[in-house]
Structure 1
Amino acid sequence: MPEAASRVTSIRVARKGGTEEVLRAVPAEVPVALTHDGSSYAVMLASPVDLEDYGIGFSFTEGVVKSAADIRDLEIVEHDDGLEVRMWLTPDPSRQLVARRRRILGPTGCGLCGVESLEGAAPDLPVVGAGITVSPSEIHAALDALGPLQVIGRETRAVHAAAFWRRGEGLVAVREDVGRHNALDKVVGSILRSGGNGADGMVVLTSRVSVELVQKTARLGASILLAVSAPTSLALRTAEAAGITVVAVARDDAFEIFTHPHRIAVDGNEKNRSESFGHVA
């Protein structure tokens, strides 16, 4: 199995002049094929760690399975040109996947990650439940705890991290990957493998908030998505519709609430503010 990071030599050129040879850690990025019942579903570029979590989480957020129990067997297979997460499904999801493949045979794709139409890029999502309410101090505590747990990130400064936080337990799952979507899928897989769900906690990301990350959060059932970087407009419209509270641009000194602010207990806003700031342009 490839290592998560390797050492390479580079030449550092200073602005003021002068050069020096530097030994630097860089993250591994390998092709990972995700297969179900012997058929390839997708090939992704990912970090070669926590691939069991990745296979389960990706299958769940893609709608291939409804729970970890729908995957009856999983193995990681090494190939000369990459890795394979080989999964075998229980009968019901297996039949549904066959029917799904038959539906997408023939039409010309739009090129958006394998979906067969533009409508497929914005699938119907579940609306999350009431969820939890958190305080600013809990948000900052979750962010403070994440940094020291980013092992590959500290070494390379070149990967994303995703995590899941629960009150009284803190960060119960932290996963890293060269792809921000992959990192979240790994967290989803970890939560499912432990028998949990997203209703009792908060998703934490080091990346920007794109629409796919909101979609994955909605499928997990988490009501709060906390991120270090900014959201996109489509991500906010999707979060608004799914009932998700987006807290982003989160720094040591402040953070911004973009949707459904009633879950963040700032100056009693869970009682005094409306459930949304309104239309997201």
Structure 2
Amino acid sequence: MNPADIDWARPSPEAFALGHSPGGSDALIEETPVTLVFNDEVALTLMATPLQGEELALGFTLSEGLIERADEIQELHALPTGAGLSVLISLPEARMAPLRARRRFGAAPGGCGLCGIEDQQTLLALPERALTTLALEDGAIARALQALPAHQPLNAATGGAHAAAWCSAAGEILLATEDVSRHCALDKLIGLLARTHQDPAQGFVLMSSRASFELVHKAARVGLPALVAISAPTALALRAAQACGLALYGFAREGRHTRYA
């Protein structure tokens, strides 16, 4: 199908996130290009749900180590385009050199931040920061899991959204985001944490997905001390978590979970 033949018009933010099946009986989550433009230079295009574009861009910029602090961003503005979103980000010129050195090609499938990095050592490099230890209260993971569905309106409507939730040590969900991509859901959460001036070290992140290397990498980069996933971690994610000192939990289901690191 030619993109020009698709009806991209959306009357409201809620409808902007939802498509519809031909029969009209099923709501389908949107997956559209979100292009990040740094200092008027197109850097990459993520495939994501076109909501919270500014939080996505801010979180991506932080979790990829392009900046150290949110206040380094001089301007941040999301604009609807004919086929998705463009997010305009202004950075100090000194921050552009590392970005220009990272060669990327086309769209990053599923919001993958590491896709397109050519050098394997660069891709696998772990964040150099000491993570604090968060002591989870007994039952914290179970309480967060029980509360998670109430924070997943897109998934409830479509069955196709991942969630990232920032939870207190007691298991209370304080912030939550959703996206068709698990990577973008986490980046949106990181951006939301920055925008609301929260300290990531004061809570753990709960993901409605498996725990991949990139999720561990992003979490450690911004100082999240623990990552809980409802499915399995990968072997590389486990090694990365051990190296970073990040607490990693998998197979978090009702009444049980497994701590891997």
Instruction: Give the shorter-chain TM-score range.
Output: 0.7 to 0.9
What does residue 250 of structure 2 align with? 248
Q: 1:236 to 1:168 in 2, by over 3 A?
A: closer
Counting only pairs closer than 5 Å after superposition, residues 104-183 of structure 1 correspond to structure 2 as: 104=102, 113-167=115-169, 170-183=172-185
1:26 Cα deviation (Å)? 0.3
* Cα displacement string for residues 107-126 of structure 1 (whole angstroms, at most 9, x for unaligned residues): xxxxx612131112101313
Out of 57, 60, 64, the residue aligned to residue 58 of structure 1 is 60
Q: Counterpart of 2:260?
A: 258
Aligned to 1:7: 20
Of residues 65-74 and 205-214 in structure 1, the stretch that sits farther from structure 2 once superposed is 65-74
TM-score, normalised by the number of residues in structure 1 = 0.80
Measure the CA separation in 2 of the matches of 1:101 and 1:4: 29
Bigger CA radius of gyration: 1
1:209 has 2:211 as partner: yes
SS in 1 for 2:89: strand
Question: Between Structure 1 and Structure 2, how many residues are aligned?
Answer: 238
Q: CA RMSD in A?
A: 1.8
Measured after TM superposition, the shift of residue 132 of structure 1 is 1.2
1:200 aligned to which of 192, 195, 202: 202
> What letter matches 1:37 in structure 2?
N
Q: 1:102 to 1:147 in 2, by over 3 A?
A: closer
Preserved contact between residue 74 and residue 88 of structure 1 (Cα < 8 Å):
yes
Name the residue aligned to 1:73: 75
Tell me, yes or no, if the aligned pair for 2:139 and 2:171 is still in contact at 8 Å: no
After superposition, what is the alpha-carbon deviation per residue over 1:218-272, rounded to whole angstroms, capped at 9, x for unaligned? 012111111101100000000000001111101112111111xxxxxxxxxxxxx
Q: Which runs of 5+ in 1 are unaligned?
A: 11-21, 106-111, 260-281
C-alpha change, 1:37 and 1:8, in structure 2 (3 Å) is same
Q: Which runs of 5+ in 2 are unaligned?
A: 1-8, 11-15, 104-113
Q: Deviations over 1:155-182 (max 9, x none)?
A: 0001110011124682121000011000
Per-residue CA distance 1:180-212 (angstroms, 9 max, x = gap): 000000000011111123111101100000000
1:63 aligned counterpart, secondary structure = coil
Please tell me the residue identity of whatever aligns with 1:100: P
For 2:158 and 2:190, the matched residues in 1 are separated by 24
**Distance across 2 between alignment mates of 1:238 and 1:115:** 18
Would the alpha carbon gap of residues 101 and 187 (structure 1) be closer, same or farther in structure 2, given more than 3 Å must change?
closer
Aligned with 1:44 (options 43, 46, 49): 46
Contact 1:161 1:175 in 2 (8 A): yes
Q: Structure 1 vs Structure 2: percent identity of aligned residues?
A: 32
Contact kept, 8 Å, 1:197 with 1:220, in 2: the verdict is: no
Q: Answer yes or no: is the 8 Å Cα contact 1:131–1:200 preserved in 2.
A: no
Write the letter of the residue equivalent to 1:173.
L
Deviation for aligned residue 1:35: 1.0
Instruction: Read off the aligned partner of 2:166 and give its amino acid letter.
Output: F
What is the CA distance between 1:82 and its match in structure 2? 2.2
Contact persistence 2:20–2:26 (CA under 8 A): yes
Give 1:25's aligned residue.
Answer: 27
